[in-house]
């Protein structure tokens, strides 16, 4: 995956772009960056242009003046302007949900559809919770290189061990036997992960419910019932507040990472039907 940097009217943005056709703007989750290709799995590069910018604080996209989801959305619109792209399908993943919601709400003419996958849509971590304190410690700018360095090394040496240890972080489904190809798929993804300044900023963020209530474009919400990272309350919240949104709760065993394994085949069909405006999606829900 070739990483590029473009100068927009607001700041530099690092990004990757492959394919041609209908542009899809991927707004990645925590710890990821423009090299995160897992959510692109199964999408035809002859029909879609797959665009992934590194969100502020990740990769080479600076955080500085873009710490709020609204500021980040402004930067991504400037990024689309620099690429001469008027309208996109917005594909939001995990902690990228806040920014995606602000973009679609504040710039209605730039997004024709919104896909929320395992996405945060309300306050995510409470500052008093142990999960928040541990994340703040492990993934701060001055220390995050250490845990990710260990993960990167052992992902290459023992992908099965890494997959088994990480699985409970993503899924609550008991008794799962992880296949070799699933381990490889996960560890390939983890190889590109770094928290930089981005994740510590993500866990401090929140969003006003009025942002969701202002969204009018077709919206598909996909969330696994077994998601251990972002609870299904976020999907239910988005479904309540976004007009005419469609919510699908998945039985995907990988929970937060719905793209891994055979369970994704049926989910991909839903995504493609939504993107291609096929009426059959309503018959599958």
Which residues touch 19 (CB under 8 Å, ≥6 apart)? 43, 44, 45, 46, 47, 48, 49, 50
Answer yes or no: is pLDDT of 283 > 80: no
Q: What is the per-residue pLDDT across 169-197, written as a single tens digit (0 to 9) for each?
A: 999 999 999 999 999 999 999 999 999 99
- For residue 249, count other CB atoms closer than 10 A to its CB: 16
pLDDT value, residue 278: 55
- For residue 146, count other CB atoms closer than 10 A to its CB: 10
Quote the CA–CA distance of 195 and 215 in Å, as a whole number: 29
Name the pLDDT band for 284 (thresholds 50, 70, 90). Answer: very low
Where do the domains of the chain lie, and which CATH numbers do they carry? 4-125+206-284 (3.40.50.1820)
Quote the CA–CA distance of 136 and 124 in Å, as a whole number: 14
Residues 151/42/114/247 CA torsion (nearest 10 deg): -90
Answer yes or no: is pLDDT of 164 > 60: yes
Residue whose pair of structure tokens reads 């291609």 in the numeric block: 276
- DSSP H or E segment with residue 165: helix 159-170
Q: What is the per-residue pLDDT across 28-37, written as a single tens digit (0 to 9) for each?
A: 999 999 999 9
For 68-90, give one letter per residue: b (16+ CB within 10 A) or e. Answer: bbbbbbbbbbbbbeebeeeebbb
Please tell me whether residue 75 adopts helix, strand or coil conformation. helix
Q: What is the per-residue pLDDT across 65-89, written as a single tens digit (0 to 9) for each?
A: 999 999 999 999 999 999 999 999 9
- For residue 49, count other CB atoms closer than 10 A to its CB: 17
- The question of whether 118 is a catalytic residue gets the answer no
Quote the CA–CA distance of 165 and 244 in Å, as a whole number: 39
Q: Which residue among the candidates 16, 17, 54, 94 is catalytic per the annotation?
A: 94
Q: What is the per-residue pLDDT across 123-159, written as a single tens digit (0 to 9) for each?
A: 998 877 777 777 777 778 778 888 889 999 989 999 9
Please tell me whether residue 90 adopts helix, strand or coil conformation. strand
Name the pLDDT band for 285 (thresholds 50, 70, 90). Answer: very low
CA gyration radius for the chain?
Answer: 18
CA 16 and chain centroid, separation: 15
């Amino acid at each position: 995956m070739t990483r590029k940097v473009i100068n927009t009217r607001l700041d530099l943005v690092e990004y990757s772009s492959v394919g041609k056709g209908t542009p899809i703007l991927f707004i990645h989750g925590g710890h990821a960056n423009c090299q995160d290709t897992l959510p692109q799995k199964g999408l035809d590069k002859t029909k879609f242009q797959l665009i992934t910018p590194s969100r502020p604080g990740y990769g080479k996209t600076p955080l500085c003046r873009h710490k709020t989801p609204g500021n980040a959305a402004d930067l991504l619109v400037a990024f689309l302007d620099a690429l001469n792209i008027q309208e996109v399908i917005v594909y939001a993943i995990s902690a990228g949900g806040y920014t995606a919601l602000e973009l679609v709400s504040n710039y209605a003419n730039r997004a024709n559809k919104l896909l929320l996958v395992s996405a945060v849509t309300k306050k995510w971590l409470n500052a008093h919770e142990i999960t928040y304190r541990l994340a703040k410690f492990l993934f701060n700018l001055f220390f995050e290189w250490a845990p990710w360095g260990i993960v990167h090394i052992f992902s290459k040496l023992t992908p099965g061990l890494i997959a088994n240890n990480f699985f409970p972080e993503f899924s609550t489904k008991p008794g799962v036997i992880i296949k070799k190809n699933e381990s490889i798929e996960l560890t390939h993804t983890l190889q590109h992960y770094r928290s930089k300044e981005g994740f510590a900023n993500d866990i401090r963020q929140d969003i006003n419910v009025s942002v969701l209530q202002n969204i009018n474009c077709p919206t598909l919400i996909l969330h696994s019932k077994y998601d251990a990272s972002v609870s299904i309350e976020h999907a239910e919240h988005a479904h309540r507040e976004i007009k005419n949104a469609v919510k699908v709760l998945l039985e995907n065993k990988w929970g937060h990472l719905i793209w891994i394994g055979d369970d994704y085949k049926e989910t991909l069909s839903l995504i493609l039907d939504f993107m291609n405006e096929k009426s059959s999606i309503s018959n599958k829900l």
